[in-house]
Structure 1
Amino acid sequence: MNRPFRTAFGVALTAALLTSVAAAPAQAHAGGRPPAVVDLPDGFQPEGVATAGRYAYFGSRATGEIYRADLVTGRGTTISAPTGTPSLGLKIDPHGRLFVAGGTAGDARVLDTRTGEVLARYQFATAPTFVNDVVLTRDAAYFTDSNRPVLYRLPLGRGGALPPADGFTTIPLTGAYQQVGSGVNINGIVATPDGRALIVVQSNTGTLFRVDPATGATTVVAVPGYTFTNGDGLLLLGRTLYVVQNSLNQIAVATLNRAGTAGTVTGTITDPGFDVPTTVAKALGRLYLPNGRFTTPPTPTTPYTAVAVRAH
């Protein structure tokens, strides 16, 4: 690109909700502190999380529902009814719009968080496809596809205007990145600290790649002595990169240089409440991670939670 771009930050939202369901009970907590564990609906099968102010939004990989939780009280409600397709990676923009990666549906949806209304839908690909995660920059939304060596780009116009249904582009990945087998390849995505490029994690190899968003050219992010095995959701705060390693039940914490070409792992975060966490977002000074519970057979009554941990 000819100019740098920066990630878009969520703003506090007040929401008039479209669909109400019985609110999940808050976990007991003392002294008015927000609960460390947030109950999600039974059978929900969470995957993505995005935050805005005191609220977190969770997507169901089973039904596509979007659940909104008050992180102060732990209570919540469904704002978007089942779609029959997954809701995986999520991001909220300053206009109160939720960008949703559609998994095996090969699509993306943009929802109004105040009403749950679907504002736009984009069909990127058909099977085999797994549109897994999304990052927002100043002028575009970028989506990963875990089954294909590509990114999908939704350009955002003046004031964040959404493109028409066919107004996206597919960016083939070239250079160092190589697709490996038929399993989950590219997963989480963030912008680099300087905002000039993107970083993705390849789950099945544990490798981080820096991607030129204009050309799709990739290079390996040099992180000596560490492999991000089972890397899932990514979160960048300043120059600190958090990499959720789902089945390892931990978050790797790395410090990157500004260009995102190299980094050093400074530690890991674990918690007894982790049960295959998938993605991560920050709110109220803490990190929130939904437990995917991939090793637990899902049923309509299987309990699901999100866990809060301190950001290192």
Structure 2
Amino acid sequence: MPRSLARRGFLGAAAALGAAALTAPLTAGAAHAAAPGGRWPTRFALPRGFQPEGVAIGHSPYAYFGSLADGAVYRASLASGEGRIIHQGLGTDRSTVGLKIDRAERRLFLAGGWSREIRVVDPRSGALLRNFTGLGADTTMVNDVVLTPGAAWFTDSFQPQLYRLALDVTGEPGHAIETVPLGGDWVQGADFTANGIERTPDGRALLVVNCAKDGGSLMRVDPRSGQARTVDLGDLRIPAGDGLLLLGRELYIVQQQKNQIDVVRLDAAGTRGTAIARITDPERFCVPTTAAVWGDRIYLPNARFGLDEDPAAVDYDVVSVPRV
């Protein structure tokens, strides 16, 4: 089985097994159906066969999407929904999974998936600025990325470690990748384990989805030591947890195969959180994977994992929902 299909199959099974793990419902009235509104489109198309996974939005109203098919990057106007491919990618098996844009909007940081690469791309010209290759082990999948003031951090879904790319005061990346082993409460599953990554509200630690631990958990990782501690989310489990989006103290956890976003209010240190809302949209959610924000809207690409016999022949789209 191709590795990309193995990833999708595992996540589908994890979602099914984990459905019963949510032992207590969210508070009454906390379920919110997404409703379109405003003048900007709340749904727009991506190129046929694009196979999106990651999304990034900076301080301008443009979204960037990465392609699992060939690593291309598509830039779309949020005002019109129109866009174009700005980075052609490096070909089959050179995916772009998660991606982030820096504050200056001068660099896109791309997680290279199964190619075991980390790439840096100019969002204006599409030029490849840096490419770090040969990361991890043969089974490594570089999955998601978050930017902090001093580094870009990447998850590895099949190895118990993070990758750190140092950034100087101007945001310029260094020339080497540091591997940070994960310890403490971290449990590495037999298959796909780490997924989305974010910062804690106080900025002192990292938050990482662990799909294998206790039916799906959120982990707080000390960036200096790699020691992980389980975040207390009460009865909430995140077996299909994918992208994370932190807005103040509210963490949006995209649960892809479950077609929902769980919203958690964290304490400042990110050690515990309370589930406050669940966003669902049965008519428009088709396995959304990651989330980015512009104004009062959250934008998500529909990855459609496991829904199509030939992903290369499918019309993909992006949807937006209101912030809680």
TM-score range, shorter chain: 0.7 to 0.9
Asked if structure 2 preserves the Cα contact closer than 8 Å seen for 1:105 and 1:126, the reply is: no
Give the whole-Å Cα distance in 2 for the aligned partners of 1:66 and 1:189: 20
Asked if structure 1 preserves the Cα contact closer than 8 Å seen for 2:165 and 2:177, the reply is: yes
Kindly indicate whether residue 321 of structure 2 is the aligned counterpart of residue 309 of structure 1. Answer: yes
Give the whole-Å Cα distance in 2 for the aligned partners of 1:214 and 1:161: 21
Matches within 5 A, 1:1-312: 33-52=39-58, 53-84=60-91, 85-96=94-105, 97-123=107-133, 124-164=135-175, 167-182=176-191, 184-204=192-212, 205-271=215-281, 272-295=283-306, 296-312=308-324
After TM superposition, the runs of 4+ consecutive aligned structure 1 residues lying more than 4 A away are: none
Q: CA RMSD in A?
A: 1.4
Question: What is the TM-score normalised by the length of structure 1?
Answer: 0.87
Provide the secondary structure at the position in 1 that maps to 2:287: coil
C-alpha displacement of 1:225:
1.0
Give the whole-Å Cα distance in 1 for the aligned partners of 2:160 and 2:279: 30
Q: Sequence identity of aligned pairs in percent?
A: 48
C-alpha displacement of 1:213:
0.1
Question: Quick one: higher RCO (CA 8 Å, sep 6+), 1 or 2?
Answer: 2
Question: What is the TM-score normalised by the length of structure 2?
Answer: 0.84
Counterpart residue type for residue 241 of structure 1: L
Residues 208-259 of structure 1, C-alpha deviation per residue, up to 9 Å, x if partnerless?
A: 0000000000100001111012000000000000000000000000000000
C-alpha displacement of 1:299:
3.9
C-alpha displacement of 1:63:
0.9
Paired residues, what number? Answer: 280
C-alpha displacement of 1:126:
4.2
Residues 258-305 of structure 1, C-alpha deviation per residue, up to 9 Å, x if partnerless?
A: 000000111100112000000000013200000000122234331100
C-alpha displacement of 1:32:
7.2
C-alpha displacement of 1:162:
1.5
Counterpart residue type for residue 201 of structure 1: V
Give the whole-Å Cα distance in 2 for the aligned partners of 1:154 and 1:305: 31
C-alpha displacement of 1:127:
1.6
More helix by share: 2
Counterpart residue type for residue 310 of structure 1: P
Residues 129-166 of structure 1, C-alpha deviation per residue, up to 9 Å, x if partnerless?
A: 110000000000000000100000001113112111xx
C-alpha displacement of 1:54:
1.0
Give the whole-Å Cα distance in 2 for the aligned partners of 1:299 and 1:206: 27
Asked if structure 1 preserves the Cα contact closer than 8 Å seen for 2:136 and 2:159, the reply is: no
Give the whole-Å Cα distance in 2 for the aligned partners of 1:219 and 1:35: 40
Counterpart residue type for residue 146 of structure 1: S
Provide the secondary structure at the position in 2 that maps to 1:159: coil
Counterpart residue type for residue 266 of structure 1: I
